[in-house]
Each structure stands twice: as structure tokens, then as C-alpha cells.
Amino acid sequence: MSERPNLLMLVHRVPYPPNRGDRIRSFHLLKHLSEQANVYLATLADEPLERETPTALRRYCREFAIEPLGRSRWLNAVASLATGRSATEGLFRSGPLRQIINGWTKAVQFDAVVVFCSSMTQYLDIPALANAKTVVDLVDVDSQKFFDYAKARSSWKSWLYRLEGQRLRTLEKSIARRASAVTLVSQAEAEIYRSFCPNDKTLAVPNGVDLDYFQPQAEPSVNNRCIFVGALDYPPNIDAMQWFCQDVWPGVRNALPDATLAIVGRNPNSALRQLGNIPGVEVVGSVPDVRPHMAAASVAIAPLRIARGIQNKVLEALAMGMPTIVSPAALEGLDLEPGRHVLQAQSADQWVSAISRICGDRAAAQELGAAGRCFVESAHSWTACLSLLDDVLFDAPKSTHSHVLATSAV
């Protein structure tokens, strides 16, 4: 294209600051798209905006609109369920945002639309968008996440999660008919999607990591210190930390009496804050910069029992050259080799053994951390990961990053 195309980006949550999993991906996606197109960003806010957010977004957007979601979104969720749709769609339904998008389409002809997460596809029914190239970034197969939740719960919660999973699956099946391409965060997620929605439009576009921001640090200032980083209001993270502190941590303290654990992340709920009463456990909570906390630790942990997609917490730890231990669930979606790039642990005894091994052999720990850094440098730069979108949206030459493209259609 001789002129810069006009691109509409629909995001369910304001993509700044990039301080949680979905925002990290949506922010870098916005940044990448802005290098080649005039981006009009339509997004929703479910919490107060950071003061610097508007200034940051102006650097990447020709125009942007942020509509707040009030308490009525929960009524919208119930109403959506009652009418046969998913609660998720109701949560992110906004009449004012739809009006803004409609207004833009009367003044601007959009060459392309990028939709971040299935909940925002509801805005694609605006007639003026019908002929635009459309990429829907599902990120994860959300329906599968709710099916996983249903298995881990009992009684009415299990029923509700299963219903939401069924409704979301119906929505996800419909997306391939409308989109030029459907992207997911890993080959594993792409295969799940194709298993119930056979198509030849699905691409795996993995997350990258900011390799300049997350740099290897000097030796940790606190020996035998473990760290977990993640959103502490996210159910899989809550489950992981409760299980780890209750089932694993006593064994770690028995093997390493001076061991400490830092739990770092935004919005810890009351159950997580209570973990700070366990000897050696510190619930740090939200911090402006996770890097000093990571640099002070000897080992990063990701003991998730429920996980979807790619774990940013793992990529960031590896980028900092940190020895990292992951559960099998946290490893899915990453081509890491256990024993070479990370250590893998599942049972409590395996976790105690792996932590003891890293804390007891600094040379081996440094070798593991260096291998992890090399891995993310070669496979997870944002430029390499997002280049496939250029092929779909801007008719760019086909990417040479064949490990990213999900080429096998069902």
C-alpha cells in the first residue's frame, strides 16, 4: 500500500500500562501496528486510568476512545446469559463505544480491523466494517479455560463455568467465518481451536518479551529467595500460590530453613494476603517495577495447575537470566526444554528438590539462567512474533519465522 492504511483496533481492556498478561500482549500489538498504519483504538476501562495512559496512547494512535465500564456491566452479563449468549460478551458491551465506532466509520474508511479477544467481536456487526480485512486475536481458547474451571469446582459454580464455556465455544466457532485470520498465542491453543472449528485461517502468534527492559542482573542480593510474579486477582494464580504455600513450602523450609518467598503482583485478595502469615512468605503485592524484586531472588517459580496460552511471567524471568522452575501447565505453549532452559516440577517433592538444586548449586543455576535468556532472544522478540500479522493485514512478504505459523489446517 502506497499510503498508510487506516486500522481499527478493538480491545476489551485499556492496553496501558502493560502490567498484566493481556495488556502486555495488546500493548505490544498496538505498538507494532502503529508503525505501519493509522490506528484508531476503541477500548474499555474496568478500573481507574493511570495518569500517564492518555499520553502514552497518543504516541501510537491517530485517535483513541476509552469508555468506562460501570457496575451495570454485571447486569449486562446476566442479561447476556439470559438471552443465550455468553456472560463475557455482556461484560464488555458498551452502547457509547459502539456509537463512537459508528461515528469513525462515517469519517474514515478502515482498511483493516484487529480485534483483541472474542468479547469484542460483537462490534464487528457495524455494516461499514464488513469489507475490511479482519484479524481476531483470541489469544487463548477462553471456552477451554472455563471448561477447566468447571472441572476444578463443584456444585453450582461448576455448572455456571460449564455453561459459560459452552456459550463461548459457540461464539468462537462463528469467528472463523467472519475473520480473515484468527490468531492464538501458541500452537497448542491453535490446535485446540481447530479441533472444534476446522479452518485454514488459524495462526499461532506467540507472545514476545521486551528484551531491552528485562535484562540479566548481577547475583541475587538475597540467597535462597523464591519469587512468583503475576496478577494476584487471577484465579489460576491464586490457586497456584495457595497450593504451593500449603503443600510445597513447608518442605522447602525444611530443606532450606532460611528460604523466603516473595509473591509479587497487583490486587492480592484476602486469601492471598493471609499467606503472608506463613513463615518465610512475603506477599509484596503491587509494585511499580518488578525487576528489582526479581533481581533479588535466586529462583523464579510458576507452579500453575491451570494455565492457558503462554505465561508472560516465565518469559520475563528467562529474559532476566533467572533460573526458573515451571509446572507442566505453565510450560505448555513454550518450546522450552526442561533441564536445559528451565526445570520442571509437578509434585510437592519435585518442587522441593528443584528449588534445593538451584539454591545449592550456583554454577548450575547460572548456566540454566543463561540458556533461558538465549532461548527468549532467539524465539520471543516481539518483532519476530508479530511479523505474521503483517502478512495478513498489509500484504507483506511472507514471514520466514516458520516456527510461528500454524500451517496445518484441519
- List per-block mean pLDDT (blocks of 10 residues) for the chain, which spans 410 residues: 86 93 93 96 94 96 96 93 96 96 97 96 95 95 92 84 96 95 93 96 93 86 91 91 98 97 94 95 94 95 87 93 95 91 97 97 94 94 89 64 31
pLDDT at residue 359, rounded to an integer: 95
Distance CA 359, CA 249 (A): 14
pTM: 0.81
pLDDT (0 to 100) of residue 21:
81
**How far is CA 120 from its chain centroid?**
16
Do residues 184 and 141 lie in contact, with contact meaning Cβ atoms separated by under 8 Å?
Answer: yes
Residue 338: phi and psi, rounded to 5, are: -60, 135
Report the pLDDT value the prediction gives residue 154, as an integer from 0 to 100: 76
Identify the pLDDT of residue 222. 77
Cα gap 254→264, rounded to integer Å: 23
pLDDT at 396: 53
Q: Residue 3: its pLDDT value, please? A: 86
Contact between 298 and 323 under an 8 Å Cβ cutoff? The reply is: yes
Structural domains of the chain, with CATH? 6-208+381-393 (3.40.50.2000), 225-379 (3.40.50.2000)
3-state secondary structure of 239: helix
CA pair distance 367, 362, nearest whole angstrom: 9
Work out the end-to-end distance of the chain between its first and last CA atoms, rounded to an integer number of angstroms: 32
Question: Quick one: the chain helix, strand, coil %, rounded to 5?
Answer: 45, 15, 35
- What is the per-residue DSSP string for 58-114? HTT-SEEEEEE--THHHHHHHHHHHTTS-HHHHHT--HHHHHHHHHHHHH---SEEE
Rounded to whole angstroms, the Cα distance separating 6 from 15 reads 19
Write down the pLDDT at residue 410.
25
Task: Say how far apart CA 140 and CA 157 lie, in whole Å.
Answer: 21
State the cell numbers at 36. 505501519
Measured CA to CA, the distance from residue 15 to residue 165 in angstroms comes to 25
The pLDDT value recorded for residue 144 is: 94
- How far is 65 from 43, CA to CA, in rounded Å? 6
